Amino acid sequence: MENFKQNLPEKQIIAVSASPRKGGNSDAVLESISAGISETGISCRQIQLRDLDFKSCIGCERCRKDKICTGLSDDLTEIYPSFIESQGLVLISPTHNYNVTAMMKAFIDRLYCFYNFENTVPRRWSSQLSGQGRKAAAVGIAEQMNEKDMGFTIPSMKLPLEALGYEFADELAVFGLFDRGRAKDCPDVLDNARKLGGKLADSLKN
């Protein structure tokens, strides 16, 4: 595996959405985020996890030796190169039962392969992705009306990425979207999403 620190990531962004519903609020927010990124001249690749056939981490630990996930071969395997090469990352998830969707949790767990572990007790660890100026943003979208009822949605995305070496440029919590696709009729929501995309992209330039 190549040394990530010798091959610094490119100033581009991957936006990963974990909504199982096509045409829903997450899709509308994703489009606005992507537009905000594109306005800065930085490219954005959108990834819909619902369109991928991938499995959850099986705990085989082969990645400790191989430095990448080799225990599974699926659609997510094809995403790893783009993920490694992109300096920016956006994670978007609706709230399901106080947390991210199962798809987002599975995606985050598959990033476990980027940790390095030492043979100590307790295990000392580091990240292959740290020290490379990587930046991230997280968006939680909920029918619920407040942060308490949204639960762990944003922390469940933010904390793992910070551990991997990402610095957070922004986060956005969207509340009160009861109807499918309602975000398309909420200019303030779309404007905040566009601003988030632009802020993340600008952070890469700086």
Q: Which helix (H) or strand (E) holds 159?
A: helix 153-164
Residue 85 is part of which domain span?
Answer: 10-205
Whole-model pTM? 0.94
Q: Which helix (H) or strand (E) holds 11?
A: strand 10-17
- The pLDDT mean for the chain works out to 95
Which CATH number does the domain housing residue 61 bear? Answer: 3.40.50.360
Distance CA 103, CA 18 (A): 6
In a domain, 4, yes or no: no
In a domain, 43, yes or no: yes
Residue 133 zone, left/alpha/beta (φ > 0; ψ -120 to 50; rest): left
Q: Which helix (H) or strand (E) holds 138?
A: strand 135-141
Distance CA 197, CA 199 (A): 5
Please provide the distance, in angstroms rounded to a whole number, between the alpha carbons at the two ends of the chain.
Answer: 29
Q: What are the pLDDT digits (tens) for 6-22? A: 578 999 999 999 999 99
Confidence category of residue 58, pLDDT binned at 50, 70, 90: very high
Q: Tally the residues of the chain.
A: 206
What's the pLDDT score for residue 62?
96
What's the pLDDT score for residue 23?
95
How many structural domains are present in the chain?
1
